[in-house]
Structure 1
Amino acid sequence: MTGYERIVAALEGKKTDILPYIDGFDCLEARLAFFGPQVMSGTWDEIALLEAELFHSDWVIVPAPLNIPGGAGIFCDVLTEDETHLLIKTFFGGIWYWRKKPYYAKAFYNPVKDIEDLEKIPEPNWEELRKRVKSIKEPIKRLKDRGYFVTMEGKGSFEATWMLFRGLENTWMDIASEPDLVKKMSRRAVDAVIKLALMVVDECEVDGLWITNDMGTQTAAYFSPKSYQELFKENDRRIVQALHSRGKKVMFHSHGNVMSLFEDFVEAGFDSIDPLDAYDGMDFQFIKEKFGKKVALKGGISCTIGQMKKEDLLKHIQDIVTIGGEERFILSGAGGVPPEMSLENFNAYRDYIHRARRGDYKKS
């Protein structure tokens, strides 16, 4: 099976030849540590292909329509950039800053202080933004020609709201004090994500949209199920419906302990949910037993693998693969390989994954 066939089969509850898998490095620092500066001077698709081949991934994620804070993406304007810093402007006028090493990202300016500001923000120049999609058309085709499952990266109902309009802390407070403002911001932000995603769908051979929507700390979700249901759930559902109407898949990502929201995520209609990290308090065994026949589960490998000894890495992977099973499960790292992982452990990790995907991880 190709990577594309393997991922689609897992999303649809069908048998695969080996366990579907996607992984990579967790940040620019990790890529620099393992690839070096010469490789990192390549284009995004050259780096993505090298990373996919190194990990034997089935799935490649494209940095569009919106991958803040992971990077600027094609729909943002670069204001200034050098070897250490990056400053960009979003299509709604927000300003984001990156320090490249050590990695750090922050919204410098949020364009909305109140509902009047939201109403005054003009619509982006959609036709100008549409022209930018052509820059990723050929790179995506090359990835598809190699048999990968290729998705865009976007933001969900909560992340799109705070990243484009109000900032994280303000949006947290707004949920309690200005819920009507949050509703309007979320709807407008998601409208933009959908519009841009469909632009990419119209021009490129993408297979779907992977949306990030971090909603919790290691101990609890940022807000109650009631708040999610009243403010965000319908907008997440609209993303799913818009992409499904074009025959595309929609995958959902949220770090943090979101056990209390998980059933709502399933009801929103996502094709897969990740990353299911025990470090975040996620009970993978419980989730698999309760939801494993309703939605594909992606992830399981903890973001703490950089601190594990080799024997702990092996046991961790064995445990995750045993729980995940052979149906509706895509093995994946919760955060990817961090820069502090030793080369020895990295090679052992790749070997363990290779064997686990084929069911022979118990061999010494």
Structure 2
Amino acid sequence: MEVKMYTSYDRIKAALEHRTLDRIPMTESMWPDTIKRWHKEGLPEDKDVMEFLGLDVICGIHPFDDGLSDAFPYIVYEETEEYKVDRNYYGVKVKYWKNRYATHIELDHAVKDRNDWERVKWALYPSEERITKDIVETSRKAREKGHFITLNCSEPYWFSFKMLGMENLCVQLKIDPEFIEDICTRYMEFLREMLIMTVNKGLEWDAIWFFSDMAYKNGPMFSPSDYRRFFLPHHKEISQFCKKQGKFLLLHSDGNMRELIPSVIEAGFDAIQPLEARAGNDVRIYKEQFGKKICLFGNISADILATGNRQAIEEEIRSKVLIAKEGGGYIYHSDHTIPSTVSLESYLFAVECAKRYGGY
């Protein structure tokens, strides 16, 4: 009997539709420092890490630029061997470290209030010149390889976050909600037109993937009622856009998302990722609560993978995968991005465990 060979596209699409194939889809992301370490530990320099690990591939394409570059030309203020201070296309003065991967420091924001926004919002306009070069060719090659293809872009909350900063955004939601509503409306007008322009180019794609950190360790950055007022209607519109074309809508959000998941489901998201374990998310609990309504994506603790303790790693994967895989609707991934504290040996063992317990 001939054994069916499934592609990354096949497995991920099945999980999003709550179907089962040969095994759960398994994918991952790693920091650059992790790849450097793994090269020293046996990962061939000329080998693609996902191919080496035998994982499913999501080809994430950044389809277009959504910055305010006409209002905020790129400027470098200071540069040394250790760091660089620049101003990005959102008007944010940022300090980046050169020789280590660490969170950047936001030093100042040009847009702080409604008056600042009124002066620069003209610079957020749709244009074919914003579309990423060679996007159609990139998607074509990914499709030939059987990859699952996502358009990775911001949505109204994350655009506001990038421009205003986390603290000021949360403050403005309360002191000037109409200001935030105006940003969201303007960005949605832009996003709608850019997505239509991009899709009309003829590229292959399977999902829109919003990267938008809406929570921290103890819960959401804002209340569920704020989510429903400011962001849910816009997310629902994009969900409907995807559904009309037979595509999916995915959400990446760090932090504890428990309070927001019901609203995320109502908005029409097909999957939520990465379900940070260190923030209190637990796929074993979420599977019972939400597993029939949304695909759960991630939740394998990178902290446990970093211990190198094989017994602990196997139990982390066994206990979660056996529950989460039932009836489909689960994609294996760490609970964030694999840090350089995880050895290649430990991660290879994790993959072995996931394949062993993730079969159907």
TM-score scaled to structure 1, two decimals?
0.82
Question: In the alignment, which residue of structure 2 is the partner of 1:71?
Answer: none
SS of residue in 1 equivalent to 2:205: coil
AA at the equivalent of 2:175 = S
Matches within 5 A, 1:288-327: 288-304=287-303, 305-326=305-326, 327=328
Amino acid at match of 1:310: R
Aligned-pair identity (%): 26
How far is the alpha carbon of 1:316 from its aligned partner?
0.4
Residue in structure 2 matched with residue 362 of structure 1 by the alignment:
none
Corresponding residue of 1:8: 13
Describe the shift of the 1:115–1:82 C-alpha distance in structure 2 as closer, same or farther (beyond 3 A).
Answer: same
Q: Which residue of 2 aligns with 1:123?
A: 123
Mapped partners of 1:349, 1:271: distance in 2: 26
Residue 99 of structure 1 aligns to which amino acid in structure 2? W
CA change 1:110–1:189 in 2 (3 A) is farther
| Structure 2 match to 1:173 | 171
CA distance in 1, matches of 2:139, 2:75: 26
Q: Secondary structure at the match of 1:270?
A: coil
Aligned to 2:233: 234
Alpha carbons 2:156, 2:183 under 8 Å: kept: no
State the alpha-carbon separation in 2 of the partners of residues 261 and 179 from structure 1: 20
Counterpart-to-counterpart distance in 1, 2:136 and 2:74? 21
Asked whether the equivalents of residues 126 and 190 of structure 2 are also in contact (C-alpha less than 8 Å), the reply is: no
| Distance verdict in 2 for CA 1:102–1:94, change over 3 Å | closer
- Equivalent in the alignment of 2:348: 347
User: 1:113 matched to which residue of 2?
Assistant: 112
Query: Partner of 2:33 in structure 1?
Result: 29
Provide the residue aligned with 2:155 in structure 1. 156
Q: Output the amino acid matched with 2:198.
A: V
Please tell me whether the aligned partners of residues 53 and 348 of structure 2 are also in contact (alpha carbons under 8 angstroms).
no
Contact 2:318 2:354 in 1 (8 A): no
Quote the Cα distance in structure 2 between the aligned partners of 1:198 and 1:312: 47
Structure 2 unaligned runs (5+)?
1-5, 67-71
Q: Give the direction of change, closer, same or farther, for the CA distance of 1:190–1:345 in structure 2 (3 Å limit).
A: same
Which of residues 201, 217, 221 in structure 1 aligns to 2:199? 201
For this pair of structures, how many residues does the alignment match? 340
Are 2:88 and 2:94, in contact at CA under 8 Å, matched by a contact in 1? yes
1:327-348 C-alpha deviation (Å, 9 max, x unpaired): 2111111213211112332232
Contact 1:229 1:264 in 2 (8 A): yes
Task: Quote the offset at 1:273 in angstroms.
Answer: 1.2
Q: Is the 8 A contact 1:285 1:323 kept in 2?
A: yes
Distance 1:290 1:20 in 2: 21
CA contact (8 A) 2:273 2:297 kept: yes
Corresponding residue for residue 73 of structure 1 = none
Counterpart in the other structure of 1:189: 187
RMSD between superposed Cα atoms in Å: 3.0
Deviation of 1:34 (Å): 2.4
CA contact (8 A) 2:59 2:147 kept: no
- What one-letter code is carried by the residue in structure 2 that aligns with 1:338? P
Greater RCO, 1 or 2 (C-alpha within 8 Å, sep 6+)? 2
Give the TM-score of the pair, scaled to structure 2: 0.83
Residue 328, structure 1, aligned to residue 329, structure 2: yes
How many angstroms apart in 2 are the aligned matches of 1:9 and 1:298? 13
Describe the superposition over 1:160-188 as per-residue Cα deviations: whole angstroms up to 9, x where unpaired: 2111x211111121122222212222232
Gaps of 5+ in 1: 69-75, 360-364
SS in 2 for 1:209: strand
